[in-house]
Amino acid sequence: MLPIIFAMPIIQLCVLVFAATFEMKNTNVYVVDRDLSSHSRQIISKFYGSPFFTVKDVDFSIKNAEDELSKDNVDAILYFENGFGKAVDKKEHASVQVLVNAIDASAAGLYNAYILSVIQDYNLQVNSKIQSVDKNNTVLQVKNTYSYLFNAEMKYIPYMLPGILVLLITVIGLFLSAMNVVREKEIGTIEQINVTPIKRYQFLIGKLIPFLLIGFFELGVGLIIAAFVFKIPILGSVWLIYLVAFIYLLTILGIGLFISTQTDTQQQAMFIAWFFMIIFVLMGGLFTPTESMPEWGQKMNLLNPVAYFIKIIRMIMLKGSGFMDILKDLSILALYSLVMLSFAVNRYRKVA
Amino acid sequence: MDSKISIKDLSKSYGDVQALKGINLDIESGELFGLIGPDGAGKTSLFRLLATLLLPDSGSATLCGFDMVKEYKPIRNILGYMPGRFSLYQDLSVLENLNFFATVFDTRIEDNMEMIRDIWLQIEPFKHRLAGKLSGGMKQKLALCCALIHQPKILLLDEPTTGVDVVSRSEFWQMLKSLKAKGVTIIVATPYMDEANLCERVALMQDGEILSLNTPAGIISDFGRDLYAIQGKDIYQLLLDLRTYPHANSVFPFGQSIHYTDKRDAISPSELKDYLISKGQYDIEISKITAGIEDCFMALSQQNKVQA
């Protein structure tokens, strides 16, 4: 058991951080070019030049393209009607059709956005070329520029890693503690403990400390991997991360022990812990931003310890936030941990 | 030192099942007391109540003068409880288990060596072995050590010899005798009738009631009827034939023979023999024997059923 507890999170961290990314590197595009004008070719050449796209084939038949799409060989089709180039030259309405495989909705959204940005780029170019023929006509364009604060290159690893670190600590904390007291019930050792004069809070503190230490150890390993393997600069204080982790673990362990005292078998405990785990993680802002959730979902997140910790740890690691910046969220977590732990102590009964 | 137990009208039910129906029992200081009864008689429920693990529906009990419900905290300091199911930490070694329970009771092994020495010497060779890897008898000895480590005044043993070989069983009872000599009040629950003779007093339990409470000799002398052991070739047919005998009071199979009592006070074995031969039995031996605890229990439980 012990090697599993320690090895599993490290492997997960290394695998998940590389795998769980939103960057689209290999979008396969099938081009149907019935126009064969210089304009359509210029656009196609942009796709050839982009690292994000692989142009599978250029063809005249939309039917072939659709076949490929339905066979899942390509992700998107780019379709130029005959007369596209002419329309551009005449400054008429020219359109390109984009067909995207939307089986995976979030991927489809990204393909679309990427393809649009390539075409957009071409639009600006062709506009300025045509306009600039006449020297007196200055080109009126609104161009937007971006600056991504705290993660300048919009890299996914610095964004995902703190969240995945939280996830791993949560798994260890919630599952181990939820299984613990109920395991003693199953094998009967609780019977022998209950007849001793040991007090309830003493018993539960004894249960708490080992998991706290394991959680701290895993957090340490995770931070070392973050700093030295993934080279993520940890801007804030590591001690502050540990303080938050301490309060967070108390909350999670409190929930786990509470589940454990309320169930009779490990199976029940596992099921309930898993139920909460899924909700906490999927709503916690690890994969999807919490801001995109409906309002009731955001309100529910007030009770989601994972959401607090992901938010705080990203603030500390990427933004370098100090104690005062996180004080509000931290005090909510602290209150939460107090409530959960007193629940656990209160609901644990030595007498049936 | 007063370490008596007195139980008054104690009842406990789980849903519709009434596990204990108004138990009244007084156990003296330093007594070796036996609770004898089949599975489901309510022995474990009674123990769990006395061990402050369950709350009674009604009635009360005092241990060493402490009320079972209100003063459960001091009781936990003076009580040693050994559950029927092995409930020490299987993934700790023998020594670690003992150390753990000593610490939980805020004491040390060395301070209590006197109490457990005889038992400890037998398991000491295995002290670094994991508790889960011990044999059944060794497990029970370790459990007894752990239950004794805080020098309890009262010791509750729930079926300590179930699943233990014959040699270990007699060793175990030897240990209980020597513990009794140290002044510990011991209550043993057991489904084995033969172990009743090893107790000073026994209570025969069935369906949450105490059928009889006496010394083992007293229970046997209360039996009241002549008991005959009947042997024959075809035991099963013999059993059926005896049950149809109009004067039969009780007929129970008992090992290789059948234990028989008659409704009449005086019977002649030859008359019974003639009856059986007329039924086609042969090679029949009838001998008068003295009743054992089991015979008494069977008789009492039958009486109880008839009344109910």
Complete DSSP assignment for A202-233: HHHHHHHHHHHHHHHHHHHHHHHHHHHTS---
H-helix or E-strand spanning residue A137: none
Identity at A91, one-letter amino acid code: K
Same domain, A206 and A123: no
Query: B53 vs A350: CB contact, 8 Å cut-off?
Result: yes
B interface test, pick of A191, A200, A203 with most B CB neighbours within 10 Å: A191
Query: Residue B291: pLDDT above 80?
Result: yes
In sequence order, which residues have a C-beta less than 8 Å from that of residue A208 and are 6 or more positions away?
A: A177, A250, A253, A257
What is the structure's pLDDT at A132? 57
Predicted local confidence at residue A338, as pLDDT: 95
- Provide the shortest C-alpha distance from residue B200 to chain A (in Å): 26
pLDDT score at B244:
86
Chain A residues with beta carbon closer than 8 angstroms to that of B73 = 197
Based on the fold, state whether residues B128 and B243 are members of the same structural domain.
no
A290 within a domain of the structure (yes/no): yes
Please state, rounded to an integer, the average pLDDT across all residues of chain B. Answer: 88
Q: What is the mean pLDDT of residues A38-64?
A: 87
- pLDDT confidence band for B308 (50 / 70 / 90): low
Q: Which two tokens stand for residue A41?
A: 């070719």
Name which of A187, A190, A195 is nearest B52 (Cβ-Cβ). Answer: A195
Start-to-end CA distance of chain A, whole Å, equals 31
CA distance linking residue A345 with residue B248, whole number of Å: 61
Looking at residue A95, what is its pLDDT?
Answer: 85
Q: Do A195 and B79 touch (CB under 8 A)?
A: yes
Residue range A195-248, pLDDT digits in tens: 898 888 999 999 999 999 999 998 998 999 889 988 888 899 999 999 999 999
Domain of residue A59: give its range.
Answer: 24-131
Note whether A125 and A165 are same-domain residues: no
User: Per the domain annotation, does A218 fall within a domain?
Assistant: yes
Q: Which residues of A touch B88 (CB under 8 A)?
A: 189, 192
Comparing CB atoms, the residue among B76, B79, B89 nearest residue A189 is B89
CA A93 to chain centre: 40
Q: What stretches of A20-104 show up as alpha helix (H) in DSSP?
A: 38-49, 62-70, 84-89
CA distance A254 to A343: 8
Residue A148 in any domain: the answer is no
User: Band of the pLDDT at A352, cuts 50, 70, 90?
Assistant: low
Tell me what pLDDT residue A123 has. 81
Q: Cβ of B104 and A198 within 8 Å? A: yes
Q: Which amino acid is present at A69?
A: L
Q: Which of A98, A131, A164 is the last residue of a domain?
A: A131
In chain B, the number of structural domains is 2
Residue B297 in any domain: the answer is: no
Mean pLDDT value of segment A9-36: 81
Residue B100 touches chain A, beta carbons under 8 Å: no
The alpha-carbon gap from A197 to the nearest alpha carbon of chain B, in Å, equals 5
A275 part of a folded domain: yes
**Nearest to A29, CA basis, from A111, A120, A104:** A111
Q: What is the pLDDT of residue B1?
A: 54
Residue B300 lies in a domain: no
Residue A129 predicted with pLDDT over 90: no
pLDDT tens digits, residue range B121-152?
Answer: 989 999 999 999 998 888 999 999 999 999 99
CA B308 – CA B306 distance, rounded (Å): 5
CATH of the domain at B284: 3.30.70.100
| ipTM (interface predicted TM) | 0.78
- Contacts A194 to B, Cβ<8 Å: 53
Q: CB distance B88–A191 less than 8 Å?
A: no
Q: Do A197 and B86 touch (CB under 8 A)?
A: no
Residue A31's beta-bridge partner residues? A58, A78
Contact of B103 with chain A, judged by CB distance below 8 Å, is answered with no
pTM listed for this prediction: 0.79
Which residue segment(s) compose the domain that B276 sits in?
224-290
